[in-house]
């Protein structure tokens, strides 16, 4: 993949991470304002943690010999956190779901994202960059 494409993907993922972090703070604030909204606290933390981790992973990608794997992992972390948190937030506010199994799908996606981070690290280590 070309460097300019990787740079564009990294920039787009940083925008996504910023929006996810902002959404996490908003959900945390909403969750702090009443016991009926307390279910928003875990998804808020997931968004904030995974937005921060994704930003760091994107920075790692900029220095990696195989940046695509790290960008893919950051995307999976953000997408998984969005599915998980979005489903719980929608259920909390409206009683509806995004789609059946959205939260577990999001959780599984985050797990896969973290495993790909580990795989990317191992790839860097064993390809002589680590």
Share of the chain above pLDDT 70, in %: 98
Whether 8 shows a pLDDT value over 70: the answer reads: yes
State the Cα–Cα distance between residues 55 and 62, nearest whole angstrom.
Answer: 11
Per-residue pLDDT at 1: 61
Per-residue pLDDT at 129: 53
3-126 maps to which CATH number?
1.20.120
C-alpha pair distances (Å), 62 with each of 41, 55, 85 = 32, 11, 28
State the Cα–Cα distance between residues 41 and 57, nearest whole angstrom.
Answer: 24
> Mind listing the pLDDT tens digit for each residue in 36-66?
899 999 999 999 999 999 999 999 999 999 9
Question: Which of 91, 111, 109 is closest to 99 using CA atoms?
Answer: 91
User: Chain centroid to CA 75: how far?
Assistant: 6
Which residue in the block uniquely carries the two structure tokens 């997408």?
79
Per-residue pLDDT at 69: 97
């Amino acid at each position: 993949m070309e460097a300019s494409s990787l740079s564009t993907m990294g920039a787009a993922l940083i925008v996504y991470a910023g929006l996810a972090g902002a959404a996490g703070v908003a959900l945390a604030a909403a969750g702090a304002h009443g016991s009926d909204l307390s279910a928003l606290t875990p998804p808020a933390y997931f968004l904030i943690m995974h937005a921060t981790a994704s930003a760091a992973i994107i920075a790692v990608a900029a220095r990696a010999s195989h940046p695509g794997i790290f960008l893919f992992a950051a995307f999976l972390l953000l997408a998984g956190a969005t599915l998980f948190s979005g489903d719980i937030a929608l259920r909390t506010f409206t009683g509806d779901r995004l789609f059946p199994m959205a939260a577990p799908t999001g959780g599984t996606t985050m797990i896969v994202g973290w495993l790909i981070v580990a795989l990317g690290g191992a790839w860097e280590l064993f390809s002589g960059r680590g």
